[in-house]
Amino acid sequence: MQLRLYVAGNAPNSLRAISNLRAMCEEHFARAHALEIVDMLENPMRALEDGVLVTPTLLKLVPGPVRRVIGDLSDSKQLLLILAGT
């Protein structure tokens, strides 16, 4: 699974999203994921290329279809359904 998480520096919601996503991946997808974290403050054009306007935003890129989740990823049941689904 290939994931890309867009964050805004050390904003509280961004830090929660990183923590929540890492915990989910370690518990359920330990050997089957690649996580890329992109800071929109450092790379705003990359975010625009992916159509990301708000943070935190998670993109599940592979396997398709591409899925998008906005927020701090605290709803673990919903997040698991999205990540485990194809």
| Residue 13's pLDDT band (cuts 50, 70, 90) | very high
Say whether pLDDT at 1 is over 80.
yes
What value does the mean pLDDT take over residues 54-74? 94
- Cα–Cα distance measured from residue 51 to residue 2, given in angstroms and rounded to the nearest whole number: 17
Say whether pLDDT at 30 is over 90.
no
Q: Count of alpha carbons within 13 Å of 51, Cβ hemisphere only?
A: 6
Domains and CATH numbers, the chain: 2-84 (3.40.30.10)
Say whether pLDDT at 32 is over 90.
no
Distances (CA, A) of 74 to 39, 44, 45, 51: 19, 25, 27, 22
Residue 4 pairs with which residues in a beta bridge?
A: 36, 59
Query: What pLDDT score was predicted for residue 86?
Result: 53
